[in-house]
Amino acid sequence: DTAVSQTPKYLVTQMGNDKSIKCEQNLGHDTMYWYKQDSKKFLKIMFSYNNKELIINETVPNRFSPKSPDKAHLNLHINSLELGDSAVYFCASSQGQGPYNEQFFGPGTRLTVL
């Protein structure tokens, strides 16, 4: 019954590694997002996809590459992980673009880079 799911929930890895976080939504939504919440709890949008097309690409290092194989999935791949990448990453989805569409968040993935 989970609306927006993320795997894994916890990810601990070494600096320099490449890792992926997967996100899936079963709500039939067209738009999906990735957010980063840092250690001070500050939440910031990273990417947004609508119907598999990139809509928002905030100032994020190009080591971060989102991939949307279909409308229901938006995965986040991170190359050459750095200490500063440690954070909680949230996936979200909404019915469509536009500010009136409620966003539904996944449970978050806590990434720890050692």
Q: How far is the CB of 112 from other proteins (least distance, A)?
A: 14
Task: Candidates 14-22, 40-48, 60-68, 69-77: pick the segment binding other proteins (CB under 8 A).
Answer: 40-48
Quote the tokens at residue 58.
């905030």
With contacts defined by CB under 8 A, name the span among 13-21, 62-70, 71-79, 93-101 that binds other proteins.
93-101
Binding of other proteins by 45 (CB under 8 A): yes
Instruction: Please identify, using beta-carbon distances, which residue of 18 and 102 lies nearer to other proteins.
Output: 102
Rule CB under 8 A: choose which of 25, 103, 111, 113 binds other proteins: 103
Nearest of 14, 37, 13, 19 to residue 79 by alpha carbon: 19
Distance, CA of 72 to CA of 38 (rounded, Å): 26
- CA-atom Rg of the chain in angstroms: 13
Tokens in use for 23? 């996100």
